[in-house]
């Protein structure tokens, strides 16, 4: 369960980028958060992963009350929330398999565990035969698949995709969304943050619309109408 209760985020003295947000997302949901640039979507993402602290209100993710989280607890939270970004954030001098393994190495994963998990998640995202390739040797869609594999290594309960198709053509974009849908079927909660109207309307899932920092609409089987 993800819950935001009267959450606001203010930068400086007056720049209120999230305003009194109230939101609940149940385990296993697939939710799109939409809105134009500057609507507050990115800040909401940062609040959910503990990168930013709410100025007011409470942010709860599973058993974690993020508003009370200490800095040393944030890495443990991040293992419960897999995050995918628009620009992939792969290390160029590491192979796809090494990029995925790195997420386990930095958290102290054993070599035995790494050798077991990395091939498994690469297979899930359709890269079982491309682990030895470097990011520059594969397409943008395959780079994003590798980023998704990296986000899955800790078996997160929540997968947060922040504009995951922003750098992809239409075909690769739809393939990435189909992959997120398959992951969702395994029981993982998926939160898709996007401004891509076509993708959101094709999904026909729950749509939360933000405008000027406020949640102005929350519709089951909704459409992106802005």
pLDDT (tens digit per residue) in 169-216: 999 999 999 999 999 999 999 999 998 888 999 998 999 999 999 999
**What pLDDT score was predicted for residue 47?**
92
Question: What is the predicted pLDDT for the residue at 1?
Answer: 85
pLDDT at position 205: 93
Q: Which two tokens stand for residue 219?
A: 């519709």
**105: how many CB neighbours lie within 10 A of its CB?**
12
Going by C-alpha positions, the residue among 215, 186, 168, 170 that lies closest to residue 32 is: 215
Q: What is the pTM of this model?
A: 0.92
CA-nearest of 22, 30, 36, 41 to 221 is 30
Q: Which two tokens stand for residue 2?
A: 């993800």
pLDDT tens digits, 201-210: 999 899 999 9
pLDDT in tens, 115-155: 999 999 999 999 999 999 999 999 999 999 999 999 999 99
CA angle in degrees (0–180, nearest 5) for 181-91-111:
80
Residues listed for the chain: 226
Does 225 score more than 70 pLDDT?
no
Q: What is the DSSP letter of 187?
A: T
Domains of the chain: 1-80+157-162+185-226 (3.40.50.300), 87-155 (no CATH)
Contact 224/207 with Cβ under 8 angstroms? Answer: yes
Tell me how far apart the alpha carbons of residues 72 and 203 are, in angstroms, rounded to a whole number.
37
CB-based contacts of 138: which residues, under 8 Å, 6+ apart? 96, 130, 146
Per residue in 62-106, pLDDT (tens digit) is 888 888 888 888 878 878 899 999 999 999 999 999 999 999 998
CA gap 58, 10 in Å, rounded = 14
- What is residue 85's DSSP assignment? -
């Amino acid at each position: 369960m993800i819950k935001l209760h009267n959450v606001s985020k203010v930068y400086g003295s007056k720049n209120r980028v999230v305003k009194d947000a109230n939101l609940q997302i149940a385990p296993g949901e697939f939710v799109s958060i939409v809105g134009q640039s500057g609507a507050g979507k990115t800040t909401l993402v940062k609040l959910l992963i503990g990168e930013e602290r709410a100025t007011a209100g409470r942010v709860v993710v599973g058993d974690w009350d993020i508003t009370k989280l200490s800095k040393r607890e944030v890495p443990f939270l991040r293992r419960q929330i897999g995050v995918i970004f628009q620009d992939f954030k792969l290390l160029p001098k590491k192979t796809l398999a090494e990029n995925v393994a790195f997420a386990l190495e930095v958290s102290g994963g054993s070599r035995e565990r790494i050798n077991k998990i990395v091939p498994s998640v690469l297979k899930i995202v359709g890269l079982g035969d491309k682990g030895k390739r470097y990011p520059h040797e594969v397409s943008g869609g395959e780079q994003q698949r590798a980023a998704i594999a990296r986000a899955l290594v800790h078996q997160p309960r929540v997968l947060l995709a922040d504009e995951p198709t922003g750098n992809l053509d239409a075909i690769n974009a739809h393939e990435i969304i189909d992959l997120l849908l398959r992951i969702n079927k395994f029981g993982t909660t998926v939160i898709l943050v996007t401004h891509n109207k076509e993708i959101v309307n094709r999904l026909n899932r729950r749509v939360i619309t933000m405008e000027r920092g406020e949640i102005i609409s929350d519709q089951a089987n909704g459409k992106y109408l802005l």
